[in-house]
A and B are shown apart, each in its own frame.
Chain A
Amino acid sequence: MKIPDGQILYDVLSPVGETTVDAGHIAARLNTLNGKTVCEVWNGLFNGEKTFPKIRALLKNRYPDINIIPYTELPIVDIVRTEKALKDLHGAILQKNCDAIITGNGG
């Protein structure tokens, strides 16, 4: 940038906070959903009671041997008691041997 004569030049600092978390990556993906246990996790919002059954039906149609555990059998991770729900969820997805998770709905 060209600075006109007589103007004050400012060397300025960033206001952004320092990073505390290293970027990790997602878990290894599955080769197929056939024969796998897929668990639904709902946050109680944004028409999940309609979207999950539809997704469930379509997945079963495409992968006949898929095993889907509906959101009614896992903790609802709502925004009011998120921390406790997330702790409960961790135990539940291990206990139910979930191979994959579908969560929703963000909105």
Chain B
Amino acid sequence: MRASIVAEKANIPSVTVAITAFEPAAYHIARAEGIADLRIAGYTGPIQTHSDSEIDQAIEKTVLDQIIEGLTKPAEKNGAKVVKPGITSSREIVFSGNFEGVNEFFYRSGWTDGLPIIPPTVDKVEQFLEYTDLPLNEEVAVLPSANLRATPWNIAVNAVMAGCRPEYMPVLIAAVESIAAPAFRLKDTGTTASLRPYLLISGPIARQLEIHSGTGLITPGAGKLEASAAANPNSTIGRALFLITRNIAGFRPGISEMGVFGLPQSFVLAEDEEGSPWEPYHVEHGFKSNASTVTAMAYVAMSYAFTSDGDKADSHFKTIGLELAHGMHPAFLYFAPDFMVNILIAPPIARVIAADGYSKREAIEQILNNAKMPVGSINERLELAFQGYSIHELVNEGKIPEALDIEPDKMIPVVSQADNINIVVCGSHERGRCLILFAVYTRPVTKEIKLPNNWAELIENTKGCGCDTECQI
């Protein structure tokens, strides 16, 4: 429907043919782009699996008349749908009630992830704002798909709801900057395949905030209980990111987030900088070692945590390459170069690879060389996923290198460039496992975390559980 928006803005009437289940998403996107009453010709049923005669029948019986009406009937006589706009006053008290009442109101408003939230009161939000030097109404970013303005104020509201501690604010502000970057393509995360953002936190702040980088780091609630018992940074920052994408970016399941099956909550990773033999992720990407960064990433699919044995780098390259080749659907090549693969490697494997003399970049190139499939097999799956597509077509469109357009029985890499692969060293210190996160459309975006001038003092005062009285565990 973005093409229709271009046409309407050029004063040319348009109508978008879309399955009826997609209509709310189309209205939502159009409203966010400044078109309140986009015309849709609704197609009832799963157009992808309909036979030719079913398609003909649907067009003839319902779609055609909607197209004609959409192009010829004036808006005010057509009952055009207008999507409710976002709010304009952020300090307005929207509800007063007890804990259960607040939770019911927020849930019914579509503002939660279905779990209880901490009531976001002015007092609580103001506590969080102490952890940024930005003015409370400063525009941090405008987030698609709803194109609503993110400010320290509404970021803090969502952070409070998620159960964050106030000192997580600088991370969340940088996270919002990251997901707002065009290369991240947040607007496309509501895709049919589902694409869930997650964060990688790198640098000294990961240790200061005790972001968990070890065993089970993706599992909600994993981490050191004795360290920061009042909140789990991995879980709550991930949850806050999820709530921000819902409430500020405007993604709602079935309305603007159209994943057929959906994906679980966002999460947070930290690299095990002490356990890694390589320079930290943020240094690898051009930041100073004493800087802290947030990298926004996203995934559509995850491998299982496969085992990789041996004390030689080559065997790990083969294992990881094989899992990458078989786990990555060749349809990803259709999206080239806008896809990414993030390989989580446990420290014992990273150390073996490094001991054999490989830098992280060299390791990525070795994995890429081992992640190969026959051209014919890739073509077969491409043809099934996107009718008419093949390696040859992708080369013609300039998406992948010409050298890959070879005989069907020849092996070619499933990832055509090393820049599409990241490695993050994390997970158990004592077990040799890897996990691969796959994504389409998106590219990782790293932003430096800006700390308030009095950060050292603030962080010192927030050590411990945060209780008013001595904690009892």
Contacts and interface: CB of A to CB of B under 8 A. Distances in A.
Interface of A: 1, 3-4, 7-33, 38, 41, 43, 46-47, 49-51, 54-55, 58-59, 62, 77, 79-80, 82, 86, 89-90, 93-94, 98-107
B13 A100 contact: yes
Contacts of B72: 29-33
A30 B23 CA distance: 23
Nearest to B90: A18
Interface of B: 1-4, 6-19, 21-23, 25-26, 31-41, 43, 47-48, 50, 52, 55-56, 59-60, 63-64, 67-68, 71-75, 80, 82, 85-88, 90-99, 101-102, 105-106, 111, 119-122, 125, 142-143, 146-151, 154, 157-158, 161, 188, 191-192, 243, 247-250, 334-335, 338, 387, 399, 441
The secondary-structure label for the interface of chain B is mixed
29 contacts: A3-B101, A10-B96, A12-B95, A12-B119, A14-B94, A17-B87, A17-B148, A17-B150, A19-B148, A21-B34, A23-B35, A23-B85, A26-B13, A27-B8, A47-B47, A55-B67, A58-B60, A62-B68, A79-B188, A93-B12, A101-B15, A102-B14, A103-B3, A103-B4, A103-B14, A105-B18, A106-B17, A106-B22, A107-B22
A10 B75 contact: no
Residue of A20, A59, A89 most packed against chain B (CB within 10 A): A20
Nearest to A54: B59
Given A29-B72, A80-B335, A82-B2, A18 B55 contact: no
A46 to B, nearest CB: 5
Nearest to B5: A86
Nearest to B137: A18
Contacts of A99: 12-13
B29 to A, nearest CB: 10
A106 to B, nearest CB: 3
Given A17-B143, A29-B72, 11 more contacts: A11-B122, A13-B121, A13-B122, A17-B151, A21-B33, A26-B39, A41-B3, A51-B47, A93-B12, A103-B3, A107-B43
Contact of B7 (A8, A27, A55): A27
Contact of B154 (A9, A16, A103): A16
B3 A16 contact: no
Nearest to A80: B335
A23 B83 CA distance: 9
A92 B18 CA distance: 23
Contacts of A21: 31-34, 147
Given A14-B92, A104-B16, A51 B59 contact: yes
Nearest to A23: B36
B12 A27 contact: yes
A55 B21 CA distance: 21
A45 B123 CA distance: 49
B120 A13 contact: yes
Contact of B13 (A7, A22, A28): A28
A38 to B, nearest CB: 8
Contacts of A54: 55-56, 59-60
A47 B13 contact: no
B231 to A, nearest CB: 18
B309 to A, nearest CB: 38
